[in-house]
Each structure stands twice: as structure tokens, then as C-alpha cells.
Structure 1
Amino acid sequence: MRSTLLKTAAAVIAAVAASAVIAPTAAAATTDIVFDCRGDTPFGAEYMTLNQTVDATAPATVSPSGALDIVVDPAPNQVPSEAAGYTVREVRDFTLKVPVPTNSTLTGVTLTGGSGLGSTPTWSESGGIVTVSFAGPIAGGASFELPTITAHLTAGASGAIESTLYGTSYDDPGLTFTAVVSTFIGNVSVPTSCFPNPNPVLTSTTIG
């Protein structure tokens, strides 16, 4: 039950993650991201692997000190209404962290569009880490569409601008969320922490 729910919620966030760090270019690169996750349930920790495919785009080259945008437009999705015989009530409290790529400076993030999220996504930056979050909730069985996310960057003097996700362990996660399900003991909240393992390079732009 919890594994199915975690996969669904993680798919929501993984799309946000990819969006926050990716930019527009001629062609999209498809990357399969594998997350290691730990859900803290009343019955103990549950471990699982989540898989999420991401279409990422970025310019192949940019001039020194030049501007570039990194953009992702996630496809519509749906939260399951049932998992292992239990009712999925909602998923909520999403947070996704993405490092600002080396050899670049973040000038802003634009979130546009999206529907069925239960709240308005926001972003913040601190210490070179961008955090995209929204409270939800997204009800079980509901359809939703994540916003298009555009990261605005300024290139450095030289080198490559490589976008990746954040997170190195369950205690230093890049993706967190809470799943709520109905069980024989009542509604159960499952806080979940995930990190990409391995952490692939999503896009690469050469400065020059």
C-alpha cells in the first residue's frame, strides 16, 4: 500500500524537481531518475525505489556572462484512489530541492500554468539551493497538472553548466512529501524522504 502511494507522490515531486533545474533548448533529453526513499510509518520505516522519467532541455552553448533559461512542462497525471485495498485520501506538503548549477548564477524562477494542485507552488533560494514547494493537498483519484517551471540563469566565465538534482541520503534528502491513507487504525500520515541514486546529469551547457 505505502509503496504504491509513495510512487505516485514521488512522481509529482520528481516532475517539479526536474523542472526547477532544467532549461529550454532545441531538443529534449529524456533521463530516467531513480530515487531511494524512506517512509516513516507507525509500523516502522519502509524503504523503496522510485523511478521517474524526465524530459530535460537546455542550450548546448552559451556565451560567457550570457543569459539562459531552463524549462520543463510536466504532463498531466493522476493520484490513485486506492492502494492495496486501502483508500488514498491525499498527498501533501511537497518539497523539492535543486542545486543552482556550478558556473552559473540564478536570477529567478518562473512558475506558470498547472492545475489541481490544491495550492499555489512557490520557490525560494538559500545557499545555492532552490526549493520548490506546495502544500496541496491532492485528493486520491484526482487529476492534476504541475506548472511549467523556468529557471533563469546567468553563465559564468568558462566551463560547463550541468544541472542535477539535490540529495545524498535519507537524512539529506532532495525530495520530501507526506502521503495520507485510510487504514484499519484510521488515517495514517507517512512522511517520506528521498534522494536520487545515482544522481544523473540532466543537462549540460558549454560556456564559450
Structure 2
Amino acid sequence: MKFALRAGIGVLAAGAAVFALAPAASAAPTDINYDCQADTPLGAQSAALTQTVDASAPATVAPGGALDVVVDPAPSTVPTEVSGYEVKEVKGFTLKVPVPANSTLTGVDLTGGSGLGDTPPAWSESGGVVTVTWDGPMPGGSTFEIPTVTAHLTAGASGSIDSGLYGTSYDDPGLTFTTVVSTFLGDISAPTSCFPNPNPVLTSTAIG
């Protein structure tokens, strides 16, 4: 999984990771482009975050059948600076993923992972949306690895099971986190909201 952040002058957002329902039939790597906005004392600042994921899922599943979708992210590194500002740490991650249509979620396993802070990542589900959280902090320049995520699903009666990401706007984000940076004003915490734009279909499983 490749991690990159493109930021303009004054942007105080940095660091993030993408959770993708994703083994069986492999797809080509997909670049996920997030639009991000950081709330700072200098005003709202925009940033773009790109992450590459290798997603895969069974090509077919029987009606009512069980399937697992999995992603195993590679290690990434928190930037040491953004627009000339030192990144001290990134913390308070919340990542949302919708349960695919025509399926029912029966559980999620989070295994492995490193460099995410003292509190292990956790997940919850509400209203058909899975939320994965981890507190951090992750210091600037540190290497981290998101846990392998296994989503257990039960197929519906017909149609297809298409996995994707959550988020439509800064007010309805799929990814949030807080970046702490050192500036001439002192340490500044910049809450950041992101959404995938565009929001691609990562995997598709036909029921039948």
C-alpha cells in the first residue's frame, strides 16, 4: 500500500490510512484519492491524500453463502513536515466503510498492525456503516502498519456485493484524524476531515 500526501501552503493535515473491504479473485491496485480539509487557526486548509490498495474478493458466491473480504496494508510512514511545519504527531483516527448492499455483516477481525499507539484498534457497526478507530499518537517520521482487516459477510438472495468507501463531503467524511504541528504560534492541533473523490468500486462479487 503506497501512501502519499500532497499539500499546499499552510496545510496542517498529514498522515492517514485507508480501510478497504477486499481473498480470491485479485484486482489491479487501486489509487484512492481523498479530498481533505483541516480546521486550523489560519482557517480551513485543503489537502489531497492518495493511497494505493490491492483489493480482492470472490468472483461469485451462492445466495445466502458466506464470504470473507480482506485487505492487508503495507507499512507506511507519517510525514515529518508539511509545508515547512514540523509534524509532531497524528492521532484520533476514525475510518468509516459501508457494509456492501446485498450482504449482511457478521463480524470483522483486526489482526496484526504496529506503530498505532498503546490502544489497539477497534471496530463497531451502526446503521450499516463499519467504523474503525485507533487513538495513536503516531509521531512524525514514524513507521506504522494498519492491521489486516477481515470482514465476514453473508450474501443476500441476488445481485452483486460491491465494496467501497464511505464519505461524500467534509461534513459527511469517511476519514477523520488530528494532526499536531509545530508553528511560530506554538503547537497547533488541526482536526481533519476527508472523503474519497471519486469513490471507486473496489471489489465486486456476483451472487448466483
**TM-score normalized by structure 1?**
0.91
Measure how far apart 1:2 and its partner are: 9.3
Q: 1:41 and 1:130, CA in 2 relative to 1: closer, same or farther beyond 3 A?
A: same
- Which protein has the bigger helix share? 1
The question of 1:42 aligning with 2:41 is answered yes
Measure how far apart 1:51 and its partner are: 1.6
Cα RMSD over matched residues?
1.7
Structure 1 residue aligned with 2:164? 164
Structure 2 residue aligned with 1:78? 77
Alpha-carbon separation, structure 2, partners of 1:201 and 1:139: 32
Structure 2 residue aligned with 1:179? 179
Structure 1 residue aligned with 2:93? 94
Alpha-carbon separation, structure 1, partners of 2:76 and 2:197: 24
Alpha-carbon separation, structure 2, partners of 1:116 and 1:127: 30
Alpha-carbon separation, structure 2, partners of 1:141 and 1:49: 19
Q: Which moved more, 1:82-91 or 1:31-40?
A: 82-91
Alpha-carbon separation, structure 1, partners of 2:70 and 2:167: 21
Measure how far apart 1:87 and its partner are: 2.0
Measure how far apart 1:5 and its partner are: 6.0
The question of 1:196 aligning with 2:202 is answered no
Alpha-carbon separation, structure 2, partners of 1:205 and 1:194: 27
Structure 1 residue aligned with 2:112? 113
Q: 1:169 and 1:84, CA in 2 relative to 1: closer, same or farther beyond 3 A?
A: closer
Alpha-carbon separation, structure 2, partners of 1:188 and 1:174: 23
The question of 1:207 aligning with 2:198 is answered no
Structure 2 residue aligned with 1:154? 154
Specify every segment of 5 or more residues in structure 2 that has no aligned partner in the other structure, as ranges: none
Question: What fraction of aligned residue pairs are identical, expressed as a percent?
Answer: 69
Measure how far apart 1:30 and its partner are: 1.3
Q: Which moved more, 1:154-163 or 1:50-59?
A: 50-59
Alpha-carbon separation, structure 2, partners of 1:41 and 1:69: 40
Alpha-carbon separation, structure 2, partners of 1:138 and 1:193: 18
Aligned residues: 200
Structure 2 residue aligned with 1:122? 122
Specify every segment of 5 or more residues in structure 1 that has no aligned partner in the other structure, as ranges: none
Give the secondary-structure state (helix, strand or coil) at the position aligned to 2:15. helix
Alpha-carbon separation, structure 2, partners of 1:130 and 1:178: 20
Measure how far apart 1:166 and its partner are: 0.5
Q: Which moved more, 1:45-54 or 1:182-191?
A: 45-54
Q: 1:33 and 1:2, CA in 2 relative to 1: closer, same or farther beyond 3 A?
A: closer
**TM-score normalized by structure 2?**
0.91
Measure how far apart 1:106 and its partner are: 0.1
Structure 1 residue aligned with 2:15? 9
Are the equivalent residues in 1 in contact too, given 2:80–2:88 (CA < 8 A)? Answer: yes
Alpha-carbon separation, structure 1, partners of 2:66 and 2:161: 12
| Letter paired with 1:94 | F
Measure how far apart 1:61 and its partner are: 0.3
